[in-house]
Chains A and B, each alone.
Chain A
């Protein structure tokens, strides 16, 4: 997988996992937004964003997530960020998003949480 591609898996019928590459910035944020909307439109209730490989997150990437999260919450689901590095967490904290968005330490923990 290249640094700017995304990998999607479906561990359960109502859950999707998107694994990012190392970069989520203006060059691929639009594609990322489209993927999030496609997943939402498919009826998925939960979306897990695996950020284990993510090294750089721009405001456009953040906008993709913030612009979509309430859609999932309105259907009693959520967008869950996992394996977020300390550096990326600092960026989210600066925007007061660290407490607004749901963050889990691991994808397994997020998957378990989504199964509720």
Chain B
């Protein structure tokens, strides 16, 4: 990784901040941070999702983590903060030690030919972008699955010409990703179909198709479809975490 790059490198799993306030829990939490620093991590992510009721013990633990990181010339980043925690940090004037400036949405766009190898290449680029944008690994994986299923559906059923391009836009905001797909294929509104799968019935019918859109629906927060004036399918999918 080049010096000065703004790409975040997470070398270890996030450290979960414990909601317990006893000294042993705080010490255990700090020990986990120290363990990652000992492995050479330069960015420690602290998952604050369990810190619902914030006390001085929690702040003390976070400050100790910050001090350990400073000593090793590493950075600490808090994620999944509650509004309460954020307000406490602001009141104590500690935000500059833990919070980066909120960036604007990160965007990525590409146009893809409707062939399997091009879709695979595009998928790798999208996954790389999502990973660098700091999404949790499971979320990036689910979005990869959504991307693959939608693009493959367009490729197999859209009746596109080999040189027709599928446009893809990816927007990453805080805790939300929007995927937009646009193609010139035959009109197809996935939201108008019954996408639910009944497993036992599918097994009885020996069903081997039709799972892709059900996967997309199950992994997405919302699906919106429109047929544009220039005869393109437009599908917008959102996912939050």
Contacts and interface: CB of A to CB of B under 8 A. Distances in A.
**Do A and B come from the same complex?**
yes
B218 A66 contact: no
Interface string A56-93: 10111011101111110000000000000011001100
Contact of A87 (B138, B149, B212, B215): B138
A26 B152 contact: yes
B165 interface: no
A70 B116 contact: no
B207 A67 contact: yes
A99 interface: yes
Contacts of A94: 214-215, 218-219
A96 to B, nearest CB: 5
B15 to A, nearest CB: 19
A59 B199 contact: no
A25 interface: yes
B148 interface: yes
Chain B interface, DSSP helix/strand/loop, else mixed: helix
Contacts of B204: 70
A96 B199 contact: yes
B152 to A, nearest CB: 6
A31 to B, nearest CB: 14
Nearest to B196: A96
Interface string B199-216: 110111011111110110
A106 interface: no
Size category of the A interface is: 20 to 34
B160 to A, nearest CB: 16
A58 B203 contact: no
Contacts of A99: 199
B52 interface: no
A97 interface: yes
B108 interface: no
Contacts of A27: 116
Nearest to A87: B141
A33 interface: yes
Interface of A: 25-27, 33, 56, 58-60, 62-64, 66-71, 86-87, 90-91, 94-97, 99-101
Given A26-B156, A56-B148, A59-B149, 5 more contacts: A66-B202, A67-B206, A70-B204, A95-B211, A96-B197
